[in-house]
Amino acid sequence: MTLVVGYAPDGRGRAVLHLAGMLARSGGDDLVLCAIVPAAWPPSPARVDAEYRAHLDREAQEALERAHERIGGNLEISTVVRHARSVPAGLLEIADQHDASLIVTGSAASGGAGTVTLGSTTSRLLHSSPLPVALAPRGFRTGADARVTRVTAAFGGSGDDLVVGAAGVAARVGARLRLASFAVHPRPPYTAGVGREADDALVREWMQEIEAAQRAALERVRDLPSVPPDCEAAVGRGETWQDALEDVDWEDGDVLAVGSSSIGPLARVFLGSRSAKIVQHSPVPAVVVPRGVAAELADEAASAA
Amino acid sequence: MASLEDGTTSLWQQIVRRKPVAAMTDETGTDTGEGELKRTIGLFQLSLFGIGATIGTGIFIVLTEAAPIAGPAVVWSFVFAGVVAGLTAICYAELASTVPISGSSYSYAYATLGEGVAMVVAACLLLEYGVSAAAVAVGWSQYLNEFLDNLFGFTIPNSLSNAPEADGVINLPAIVLIVLCTLLLIRGASESAKVNAAMVLIKIAVLILFVVVGVTGWNSDNLSDFTPFGLAGVTSAAGIIFFSFIGLDAVSTAGEEVKNPRRNLPLAILIALAVVTSLYVLVAFVAVAAQPLGDFEGQEAGLSAILETVTGSTWPATVLAAGAVISIFSVTLVVIYGQTRILFAMGRDGMVPPLFHRLNPRTLTPVPATIIVAVVISLLAGLLPINFLAEMTSIGTLVAFMIVSIGVIVLRQRQPELPRGFKVPLYPILPIASVAGCIWIISDLRAVTIYVFFGWSTVALLWYFFYGRRHSTLGKSS
């Protein structure tokens, strides 16, 4: 399969290269390194801006070549410079051409180190991509031969597709599987006459339910034709999303899979928030999987011999 | 000459040094295979492109300036300006097809006629793009005022919507328009092919609306004295009007992509020219028949105002003003964009400071160049009257294309062996006629315009003498 890697032609954002390298090594995938530069404009055969665009092309090509060297290894890597009216549009076009299975991008430069931050480009990509999108946390680094060792699927208690699909992918790349659910419950600043801990019972109740759901989901995973080497479950609890995400342990080689935030029951059950929140507080690379793709992956996993 | 020697390279050698075509194809990526343009554009498409690139804008602005100079014979001024524009476009097509590069006429001049000529062409292009952006912005402010007046009964006070010479203080709406365009360009905004097509359609629709509605006010009395100012009036009006044919030259640079360019290039230029000129002539005819000559002088948002007089109701004028406000915005954006990219190319060549080719790493737009261009254009648009701006644009364009026409003759003499994708028919009559036409129009422009142009060219040459020739990337590399 092919992974399309969006690389900013200014040469920043090595994190995305480290992530792309890790993913490609794990799945034995090809990489297409892409730089998107502004399209010819005005849309006409008159080229008053020819030198300008040639300059952009060359700079982008050089950046891609440096990136190619940086990833190194014996991966199949090709480079593409494309003119497009927007970066997401350009990446999606390339992904379509190469029949890619995943788009890999970095975090916005405005975010803090160590977490995934959605910028204008990645947000738009997440809203328009029919493919899964992998997001590297800012400053993400791996060793030269790092692989994905564990796939953590964010699990909201219903909707198995993402879990089963993630299990299929984990089994294929030889990584462990973990289900993670997050209970975010800020304590109210007022007592409302019943004390600030009044809701804690509610959260405990929810946690018991989610743990049962996790067990049920893991049962189904164990029935798959091809099972990941190890399966576990975790629940992160906290007053903020950050606390909840930090409540579960993370290791190098972890990748977090999250269902698409725009649609689906998966997003809704996270105590009234969106999976975008999970992505934005993820300390490890996150892969946002559209619901349709999750269903396909689940079918593949179920039918794999 | 000896006194001007500068190290090993004499001034003359510097002026005539040409950018090797190999270096240029390197820059534009022709050798990578990606820069190879497929011949995909047919005659129909090319003609449409020419019409789209040329039509509109100018006519919204220049008609009321040109009509008092020529009288009803302004109709002939349009034909005359159109013919000269067509001749220069055909000459440009040969030059563009001689060098396998793409770019503005500055780049073609650098490759064929040398650094000094390229600098003069660049100075002219600053007028064709930068100053025309200012002229267009001033016209926009007039139509905006008309639109606001008709719709809300509110106008921006005279002192804030006119240049000092027109009894104002500053033309604020024009500056606001330029600032808006600049912000968009800095963010890296662009216009899709669909939006561009829509803008062209709006312009054509608005002009047709003017003709259809305006013809109801036809009064032959207004045409009784058809040429009150004789031939001189016709040609000096053509000087202002030439402005409205800018864009026709864009067809010429499409050479590499055109199927059968020998046949299709000149034909497309002629078709575009015929369509555009016919529409302009219709508009001009309706306008001069609809109102007495005396009414044109000082009329703002001319086409709208005429419609209002003719119909006695405001809605056609409002529709026209709205169309003008929308489409002129788009034109301003495109022109400022073009200017910044020409300066980018010059910055790369060392003709202007490197600041002009500095790009913002995120948006990949030349932010410093865009801001500098915007400030200069804003000052021009805010402080100078529209007829002066239109004439400066015209003279810049005319001189640039006169040089191109001369260049065609020079190259035929000097390098007859060069392969040419397209050759001017009727050589040498056509290039000579083109040069003569340009000179004729220029000679009838107002003296002040010609003086300012010479002043500006002198500045450009001094700039070249003290900066460009020393910093030339080409000079440094050899």
The domains of chain A, with CATH numbers, are 2-135 (3.40.50.620), 150-303 (3.40.50.620)
Interface check for B358 against chain A (CB to CB < 8 A): the answer is no
- Which residue in this structure is represented by tokens 């220069």? B88
Asked if residue B2 belongs to a domain, the reply is no
Which CATH number does the domain housing residue B80 bear?
1.20.1740.10
Interface check for B33 against chain A (CB to CB < 8 A): the answer is no
Asked if residue B112 belongs to a domain, the reply is yes
Shortest distance between the Cα of B28 and any Cα of chain A, in A, equals 5
Which residues of chain B neighbour A90 with C-beta distances below 8 Å?
A: none
Asked if residue B26 belongs to a domain, the reply is no
Which residues of chain A neighbour B257 with C-beta distances below 8 Å?
A: 45
Interface check for A290 against chain B (CB to CB < 8 A): the answer is no
Q: Calculate ∠ Cα A155-A160-A165, nearest 5°.
A: 95
Q: Which of A41, A45, A54 sits opposite B29 (nearest CB)?
A: A54
Which residues of chain B neighbour A58 with C-beta distances below 8 Å?
A: 27, 29
CB-CB neighbours of B219 under 10 Å: 13
Which residues of chain B neighbour A65 with C-beta distances below 8 Å?
A: none
Where helices occur in B188-300 by DSSP H, the ranges are: 193-214, 230-241, 261-290
User: How high does pLDDT run on average in chain A?
Assistant: 82
One-letter-per-residue 3-state SS of chain A: CEEEEECCCCCCCCHHHHHHHHHHHHHCCEEEEEEEEECCCCCCCCCCCHHHHHHHHHHHHHHHHHHHHHHCCCCCEEEEEEEECCHHHHHHHHHHHCCCCEEEECCCCCCCCCCCCCCHHHHHHHHHCCCCEEECCCCCCCCCCCCCCEEEEECCCCCCHHHHHHHHHHHHHCCEEEEEEEEECCCCCCCCCCCCCCCHHHHHHHHHHHHHHHHHHHHHHHCCCCCCCCEEEEEEEECCHHHHHHHCCCCCCEEEEEECCCCCHHHHCCCCCCHHHHHHCCCCCEEEECHHHHHHHHHHHHHCC
**Residues 6+ positions from B455 with CB-CB distance below 8 Å:** none
Asked if residue B20 belongs to a domain, the reply is no
Interface check for B341 against chain A (CB to CB < 8 A): the answer is yes
One-letter-per-residue 3-state SS of B88-126: HHHHHHHHHHHCCCCCCHHHHHHHHCCHHHHHHHHHHHH
Shortest distance between the Cα of B365 and any Cα of chain A, in A, equals 9
Which residues of chain A neighbour B359 with C-beta distances below 8 Å?
A: 55-56
Among B55, B92, B181, B190, most A C-beta atoms within 10 A, so best to mutate, is B190
Q: What pLDDT is recorded for position B276?
A: 93
Which amino acid does the sequence have at A87? V
Interface check for A119 against chain B (CB to CB < 8 A): the answer is no
Instruction: Report how many domains make up chain B.
Output: 1
Residue of B nearest to A43 (CA): B193
CB B347 within 8 A of CB B334: no
Give me the phi and psi of A103, to 5 degrees please.
-110, 130
Local confidence pLDDT in tens for the 478 residues of chain B:
344 444 557 888 888 888 877 676 666 544 444 445 567 788 888 888 888 888 877 888 888 889 988 999 999 999 999 999 999 999 988 888 887 777 788 888 888 888 999 999 999 999 989 999 999 999 999 999 999 998 888 888 888 888 888 788 999 999 999 999 999 888 877 777 778 788 889 999 999 999 999 999 888 888 888 888 888 899 999 998 998 898 888 788 776 778 888 788 888 888 999 999 999 999 999 999 998 888 888 788 888 888 888 888 888 899 999 999 988 888 888 889 889 988 998 998 899 999 998 888 777 889 999 999 999 999 999 999 888 899 899 999 999 989 999 999 998 998 888 888 888 888 889 999 999 999 999 998 889 999 999 999 999 999 999 998 888 888 887 6
Identify the burial level of A215 via C-beta atoms within 10 angstroms of its C-beta, where 0-12 means exposed, 13-18 middle and 19 or more buried. Answer: exposed
Alpha-carbon span B135 to B313, nearest angstrom: 29
Q: What is the mean pLDDT of residues A149-172?
A: 85
What phi-psi label fits residue B48: left (phi over 0), alpha (psi between -120 and 50 degrees) or beta? Answer: alpha
Asked if residue B1 belongs to a domain, the reply is no
Shortest distance between the Cα of B53 and any Cα of chain A, in A, equals 9
| Domain housing B432 | 39-477
Interface check for A78 against chain B (CB to CB < 8 A): the answer is no
Q: What pLDDT is recorded for position B31?
A: 40
Alpha-carbon span A184 to B62, nearest angstrom: 66
Q: Do B101 and A41 touch (CB under 8 A)?
A: no
Interface check for A21 against chain B (CB to CB < 8 A): the answer is no
Q: Tokens standing for A91?
A: 């990446």
Interface check for B342 against chain A (CB to CB < 8 A): the answer is yes
Interface check for B118 against chain A (CB to CB < 8 A): the answer is no
CA B372 to chain centre: 20
Asked if residue B164 belongs to a domain, the reply is yes
- B47 CB-side CA count, 13 A: 15
Asked if residue B11 belongs to a domain, the reply is no
Interface check for A84 against chain B (CB to CB < 8 A): the answer is no
Asked if residue B10 belongs to a domain, the reply is no
A100-139 pLDDT per residue, tens? 999 999 888 777 788 888 888 888 887 778 888 899 998 8
Q: What pLDDT is recorded for position B30?
A: 43
